[in-house]
Structure 1
C-alpha cells in the first residue's frame, strides 16, 4: 500500500511529508485509507483486481454530478486503472450533521434530478459493485430499464443458478408485460445510480455530499425507490424533495418494480438471502 500512496501523492503533485495513514472501513469492495500529509488530507481506495475503467468511470460520474451544480461531491485528486494498481484518491470529507442537513440533502438531490440528459442510460457500460452494468443510450426508458437493467440481471442470475424455476418464469413473464407499469416517455434525469444510505456523507457546515456513483440518465423515481429500500434517509429528506420536485402519481404503484433491480443485483452478488424479497415482488405483479 505504501507504493500506491506514494504513486497517488505523486500524481496529485503533493510532495509534502506524510504525517499519517490508516486503514478505514469503506465498503465491501475496495480497501480504503485515510492519508494525511503536511499539505492535505485524502481518502484513497484501491483494488488490486479492478475491472478496466472501474475508477475512471466513478470519477466521471462524480464530475457529471458536479456539473449539475446541485449537490456537493468530493474533489477528485487522482485516479488510476493500471493493472493491479487501480485507485481513486479524493479530498477527505468530514463534518457534523446540523438541523438543516436532511432538508438540504432532499433539496439538493431534487435539484440534481431537475438536470436532464437527452437519452436514457449511459454511453458506456459501467458497474454496480463489481458487476458489469450493460448500458447504451435509449429514447425509451421502458426499453432501457427492461433490457439493460432487469433482463441483464435475469441473464446473470440464470448463469449463476440464482434465478431458476418459478422465479425465472415469473421474471420472464414480468418482462413481457412491463409496459403495463413502467413509462416509456419520461425525462432522463441525472441519476447517482447507487444512492443507498451509505453513499452520502456530511461535509463542513453540515452540507451533504454524495460519493460512489454508478451514473446514468433515467427516471428519477428509480433512484428514489432505492433510497427507500435499505434506509438511511429521513422523513424530512422526502418532504423537502417533494416540495422542490413533486412525485408522479405512478410512483407508489411501481416503486417495488424499481427496487426489484437492486434486489436482483444483491441476489446475484450476495446470494439467496435476497431471494424472498425478489419473489415477493414478482408474486405481487405477476402472481
Structure 2
C-alpha cells in the first residue's frame, strides 16, 4: 500500500518526503487513508476492484459543484481508475463546527440548487453506492425520474427476487400514475445526488464541505427529501435553506415519492430490512 500511495502522490505532483500514513475507519466501499508529506496533508481513497470511471465520475461531480461557487468541496489532486489500482487523492479537510455551521450548510446547498442546468439527468452513467445508475439528459423531470430512477430500481428488484407479488404490482401501478404527484415543470437544479448525513463535513472556519457526490440535474426537492430519510440534519440546516430558497407548498405531498428511490436503492443493496418502508410508501399512494 505504501508504494501505491507514493505513486499516487507523485501523480499529484508531490515529491516531498512521506511522513505519515494512517488507515481511517468508516466507509463501506473504499479503503481510506490520512497521508501527510513534508508539503501537505491528503485524504486518499483506494478501491481494489473499482468499476470503470468510478473515481473519475466522483471527481467530475465535485468539479461541477465547485463551479457553482456555492459550497466548498475538497480539491482533487490526482486519480486513477486503473484496474486493482484505483485511487483518488484529495486535500485533507479538517475544522471545528461553529455555531452557524449547520445554517451555512443549508444556505450553501440552497445556493447550489439555484444553479440551473439545461436538462434533467446527467451526461454520464454514475453510481449510487455501488449500484450503477444509468443516466441520460431529458427535458422532462417526470420522465427521467420514472424511467431512469424508479424503474431502474424496480428492474433490479425483479432480477434479484426482492420485488415480487403485491410489492411489484403496487410499484408498477405507481409508475403508471406518477404524473399525479411528481411535477414535470421544475427547473433542473444542480444536485449532489447522495446527500445523506455522512457526506458533508466541517472545514476551516466552520465552513461546510460536501463530499462523495452522485451528481445529477433535477428537482431540488428530490435532494431535500433524502436529507430526511436517515437524519443527520438539524433544524438550523433547514432554516438556512428556506431563508435563501423556500420550499414548494407541494413538497410534503411528493417527499415520500422522492424518498422511495433511495429506499429502493437500500432495499436492492442491503435487503429486506428496508422492505417495510418501501411498502408503506407504495400503500400510501396506490393502496
- TM-score for the superposition, normalised by structure 2: 0.99
Measure, in 2, the Cα distance between the counterparts of 1:171 and 1:236: 35
- Counterpart secondary structure, 1:45: strand
Measure, in 2, the Cα distance between the counterparts of 1:72 and 1:129: 22
User: Over residues 38-85 of structure 1, what are the superposed CA-to-partner deviations in whole Å (9 max), with x where a residue is unaligned?
Assistant: 111000011111000000000000000000000000010110100111
- Counterpart secondary structure, 1:33: strand
Measure, in 2, the Cα distance between the counterparts of 1:260 and 1:40: 42
Alignment pair present for 1:156 and 2:156: yes
Alignment of 1:171-186 (within 5 A): 171-186=171-186
- In structure 2, the partner of 1:5 is 5
Alignment of 1:265-276 (within 5 A): 265-276=265-276
- In structure 2, the partner of 1:165 is 165
- In structure 2, the partner of 1:240 is 240
Offset at residue 6 of structure 1 (A): 1.1
Offset at residue 93 of structure 1 (A): 0.4
- In structure 2, the partner of 1:107 is 107
- Counterpart secondary structure, 1:159: helix
- In structure 1, the partner of 2:85 is 85
User: Over residues 181-205 of structure 1, what are the superposed CA-to-partner deviations in whole Å (9 max), with x where a residue is unaligned?
Assistant: 0001110000000000000000000
Alignment pair present for 1:118 and 2:118: yes
- Counterpart secondary structure, 1:64: helix
Alignment pair present for 1:60 and 2:22: no
Alignment pair present for 1:257 and 2:265: no
Offset at residue 3 of structure 1 (A): 2.2
Offset at residue 285 of structure 1 (A): 0.5
- Counterpart secondary structure, 1:124: coil
- Counterpart secondary structure, 2:266: helix
- Counterpart secondary structure, 1:89: strand
Measure, in 2, the Cα distance between the counterparts of 1:25 and 1:106: 27
Measure, in 1, the Cα distance between the counterparts of 2:126 and 2:234: 29
- Counterpart secondary structure, 2:70: coil
Which structure 1 residue ranges, 4+ long, deviate > 6 Å from structure 2? Answer: none
- Counterpart secondary structure, 2:205: helix
**Count of residues in correspondence between the two structures:** 287
- Counterpart secondary structure, 1:21: strand
- In structure 2, the partner of 1:40 is 40
Measure, in 1, the Cα distance between the counterparts of 2:187 and 2:227: 20
User: Over residues 133-167 of structure 1, what are the superposed CA-to-partner deviations in whole Å (9 max), with x where a residue is unaligned?
Assistant: 01000000000000000000000011011111111
Listed as ranges, the gaps of 5+ residues in structure 2 are none
- Counterpart secondary structure, 2:4: helix
Offset at residue 240 of structure 1 (A): 1.4
Measure, in 2, the Cα distance between the counterparts of 1:213 and 1:167: 30
Measure, in 2, the Cα distance between the counterparts of 1:4 and 1:269: 30
Offset at residue 120 of structure 1 (A): 0.1
Offset at residue 26 of structure 1 (A): 3.6
Measure, in 1, the Cα distance between the counterparts of 2:179 and 2:3: 52
- Counterpart secondary structure, 2:233: coil
User: Over residues 2-52 of structure 1, what are the superposed CA-to-partner deviations in whole Å (9 max), with x where a residue is unaligned?
Assistant: 122011101011111111111102411001010001111000011111000
Measure, in 2, the Cα distance between the counterparts of 1:64 and 1:71: 11
